[in-house]
Amino acid sequence: MQLYNTLSAKEREALIEEAGQDRLTISFYQYAHIGNPSIFRNHLFIHWNDLDVLGRIYVAHEGINAQLSVPAANFEAFKAHLDSISFLKDVRLNIAIEQDNKSFLKLKVKVRKKILADGLNDATFDVTNKGVHVNAQKFNELIEDPDTILVDMRNHYESEIGHFKNAITPDVDTFRDSLDIIEKDLEAFKEDKKLVMYCTGGIRCEKASAYYKHKGFKNVFQLEGGIIEYARQAKDQNLENKFIGKNFVFDHRRGERISEDVISHCHQCGQPCDTHVNCANEACHLLFIQCEDCAKKMNDCCSNECKEIHALPYEEQKALRKGKTVSNKIFKKGRSEVLKFKK
C-alpha cells in the first residue's frame, strides 16, 4: 500500500490546475498522548491521501501539528475523519485568511520527537499548566492595559513583515532562542505585570506559557488560535484590528495580509516591501524580502554570485552542487551578508 508521495511538486501543481477546484488552507495542533506515532502517521496518510489532502504534518508521542490544504468539496469528509479520532474531535481549525490552491503541493506526514522543535526538556516542568487563553476582544483589551507586556513569540523574519502594535519582537532565529532572552529581559516584572503572548496559530504559546509559569511569571496569557484566528474574529465581530502588516505563514504563500500597512523593506534596495521569496539558486534558497524591480534585476536571486549560477544550464548547476553539503531548506533563515538592507 502506498504510504508516500509519488508525484513531484510540478506534477501535482498541474493536477491542481486541471481539477479547477477551490482548496482550503488549514492549520491545527493538539497535544495528546500517542502511543505509537508511526501507526498513527500511516493511518493519517492513508485516509488523507484519499481525500487529496496536501501539507506538512508532524506526529509525535506528544501530539500532532498540521498545516495543510484540502479541496473545499472534501472538507466535510476531512472534518468527519478528524472527529472520528477521540483527541481530535472538535479540534480548533485555523482557516487561512487568504486562500491559495497551491499553498502545499505534497502530502508529508512525518514522525518527530516533538511536534514543535523547542529544545526544552519537558520533564522539568508541567507542560499542561498553560497560560490563560483569550479571544480577540479580550486580547485587544489586555494589550491596552499599561500593566501588560506584549511579546511576539515568532522569529525575526516573521515579525519583520507584521506584528501587533507595541509588541516586543525578539531578534531571534528560533523559538528556543527567544525563551531565555525574554525571561532575562522581563525578570523584574514576573510578579506585577501581565505577560501576554502571541504567535501564528497558537502552538508556540502553548509551550511558552507553561514554561514562563514554571519560571515564576504569575499572570500569563496567550492569544487563542494565534494571529490567524485573531484576524478572523476581528473581521467577523467588527473589532479594531491591532495587527499591522502581514502574517508570515510556512507554506508557498509565505504570508497573508492582515492590514494594508507595509512595515518592512526590500533587503536589496531598501524600498518598502513585504514579499518574502527564496533565492532561485537551488544551492542557496535563502529566504529574504525582494521587491519586483530587484527580482527582475537579480533574476530572482539574492546575490550576483547566485545570479551567475542560476543562469548556467541546469546540468552545470547540478555538477557544481555535487559532493557539497548545501542547505536546501525552503525556509532557511533570512540572514546573509549579501543583503545590504537587512537590519
For residue 305 the three cell numbers come to 554570485
Q: Give me the catalytic one of 199, 205, 273, 301.
A: 199
DSSP 108-167: EEEE-S-SS-----GGGS-TT---EEE-HHHHHHHHTSTTEEEEE-S-HHHHTTEEETT-
DSSP character for 57? E
Gap between the Cα atoms of 56 and 106, Å rounded: 8
Total H helices, total E strands in the chain: 11, 14
Tell me which H or E stretch contains 256: strand 256-257
Active site residue 199: yes
Q: What angle do CA 170, 139, 130 make, to 5 degrees?
A: 70
What single string gives the DSSP state of each residue in 315-330? Answer: HHHHHHHTT------T
- Tell me 216's DSSP state: T
**Catalytic positions, written as ranges:** 199
